[in-house]
Chains A and B, each alone.
Chain A
Amino acid sequence: MYSGRRVGYLIAAAVIALLPLIFQDSYWRTNLTVCAITVMLAIGLDFILGYAGQLNLGHCAFYGIGAYASTLLITRLGVPFWIAFACAIALAGAAGMALAMFAVRLRGHYLAIASLAFAVIVHQVLLNWISLTQGPLGIYGIRPPPPIALPGLPVISFANAGNMFYLVAGFALLFYFLLDQILRSPIGEALTAIREDEVSAASFGINCAGWKVFAFGIGSAVAGAAGAFYASLVGTLVPDAFIITESFTILAMVIVGGMATLLGPVCGAILLTVLPELLRGFGDLRLVLYGAALTLVVLFMPGGMAQAARLIRPRLPGVRAKLLHDRAA
């Protein structure tokens, strides 16, 4: 692996390790865990939207499927958490692939509306299948993941907000790593080729339909994992946590951070989750901010924060000196 990226991962791991030590109160630790969950959602959507170029407005549905699948398996069938977690990932991924297989002939606006319709249907099913999901009343008292007892170490309990953060953030980093590896392989090039021009991609022998289904499967599987963590973090599940607005906030994170870069949406997700918490006094202004950010970024800087960083970087003193030096040499 290129050493710069290895350093990047080490820095990310160090930041994750340090954060709960800096933020001791469980309020901020829980917020940080929410941040890690939204990072998973954002990179999952970016994989589908930014790289494969498929506008998916149904991301909230995969998130909801993951949350309800893992919770129902645990509470109804008594399945252990980690098996339920794996099932949630598999089920959300399968739902994403099913939608993609169905929508594979559709592009652009038609896909956007088909995925929107899918999200509406999933929300309505969660709301109306009362015997299974308890409908709008919701499911209460969902437990955090079971404690892990490694030999020779104290038992790690996830009722502790700090440990829960380590778990979720660790998985977020793992998913980031896996998506990054996929995107750096020839698969990533096939996906961007489809995004840029489907006909030319097909003429190079790329199976467009197959790779679109693959992209949807991976992206929605990550959303399913986020859902399973969300349920065990919050402890309650109501269908309205997965309304279509949720898709729009994830979309805002991806766009504000910068589509088609993995790091951009991570920054977008963190910014748009933490910033409103800092502006707590403005409570209801949170989503106004999201909407304004989404519109202004598309109008004036469609590449998002990633584009802004590319524009600023050559002007930073250190980098500038190096560039001038390179040019002189």
Chain B
Amino acid sequence: MLAVAVQQAINGVVFGSLYVLVALGLTLIYGVLVQINFAHADIVTIGAFAAYFFTYTLGGNYVASIGVALLIGAALGWLINASIFAPLRERGSELLPLIATIGVSVLLQNAMLLWFGPIPYSFDSPYSNQVIRLPGGTFITLQNLIIIAVSTVTIALLYGFMRFTFMGKALRAVAQDRETAGLMGINPNAVIMLTFVIASALAGMGGAMLGPILVLTPFAGTSVIVKAFAIVIIGGFGNVEGTVIAGLLVGLIESYTTQFINPGLTDIVVFTLLLAVLALRPTGLIAEKREENV
């Protein structure tokens, strides 16, 4: 029983750290722009497909494919900001950019459907079969170890960037008050673009690592993104530490619900938690930063 609980904790952390990578992008963008990018889901999917084609069609290394997905994600982030968010920023509407990115998402998903077809791709990572035995009868696959290692390093790097570098401080300054940051000589547009590139790079690499776990279809990203929304709200919109904690929490809830209650109920449990958070503590379970939207 204990071994099962520990094993599910490992699985929960694996899923949770991938959710964190995806959700961090959403929360970073929300932090600087107070906008939601719905097409974030499709960057995850495209990242997964990029990794698949890099490893299978081009015969590349799987770990290198994570880097490829990262670059493609970054390029998409640049494109989405330049084509959607930047032109709509002057209009100052709260909902129009969200609706526009829903359009982008529907467009990308169905373009991928035409291109890649509806049949799920079987994306087996070469590391999924290499099992490392742990004490107490539990185990972890090399693939999951890679996921945890890459996510931890990425999150640590991101944290260090935000905390200690000039651009990271500029990013936080823009998140706090765009106008004042502009007066201090920071170019808000450059910072916003940088945020989009970083956020989408995270989503792309998250996709590359989610690819072997998910059922890889053009719609794979959607199931992840709705959970990422839940995580972002549970953690508090724009709150990086909260997002990390909430992401791991959701990963653990999922794996324990699957093991001990019923696999079909995982989404219901997660989203009921989300609605409960919205009802009781809309600024997030963890420390709050913004209040004007609630």
Contact surface of A with B, Cβ cutoff 8 Å: 55, 102-103, 105-110, 112-114, 116-118, 120-121, 124-125, 127-128, 244-245, 248-249, 251-252, 255, 284-288, 290-296, 298-299, 302
Contact = CB atoms under 8 A, between A and B. Distances in A.
A189 B226 CA distance: 34
A244 B97 CA distance: 19
Contacts of A102: 275, 278-279
A323 to B, nearest CB: 29
Contacts of B103: 252, 290-296, 298
Interface of A is mostly: helix
Interface residues of B, number: 48
Contact of B108 (A249, A291, A296, A302): A291
A244 B222 contact: yes
Given A291-B104, A295-B103, A116 B229 contact: yes
B268 A124 contact: yes
A14 to B, nearest CB: 34
A286 B114 CA distance: 11
A56 to B, nearest CB: 11
A183 B60 CA distance: 61
Interface string B92-114: 01111111101111111111011
B293 interface: yes
B22 interface: no
B271 A252 contact: no
A296 B274 CA distance: 32
What 5 A-B pairs come out closest when comparing CB atoms? A291-B107, A294-B103, A291-B106, A295-B103, A287-B110
B145 interface: no
A110 B278 contact: yes
A255 B99 contact: yes
B194 interface: no
A254 to B, nearest CB: 9
B210 to A, nearest CB: 18
B226 A116 contact: yes
B36 A112 contact: yes
17 contacts: A55-B95, A102-B275, A106-B282, A108-B94, A109-B94, A109-B293, A117-B226, A120-B271, A124-B265, A128-B264, A252-B106, A284-B114, A290-B107, A291-B105, A291-B106, A295-B103, A298-B99
A202 to B, nearest CB: 16
B274 A117 contact: yes
B106 A294 contact: yes
A252 B104 CA distance: 11
Contact of A285 (B35, B104, B105, B114): B114
Nearest to A296: B103
Contacts of B91: 302
A114 B275 contact: yes
B230 interface: yes
B177 to A, nearest CB: 19
B247 to A, nearest CB: 16
A213 B36 CA distance: 24
Contacts of A284: 110, 113-114
Contacts of B140: none
Interface in B249-294: 262, 264-265, 267-268, 271-272, 274-275, 278-279, 282, 293-294
A121 B267 CA distance: 7
A105 B103 CA distance: 27
Nearest to B266: A124
Contacts of B113: 284, 287
A245 B294 contact: no
Contact of B230 (A105, A117, A128, A290): A117
A118 B272 CA distance: 9
A276 to B, nearest CB: 11
Contacts of A108: 94-95, 293
A55 B271 CA distance: 18
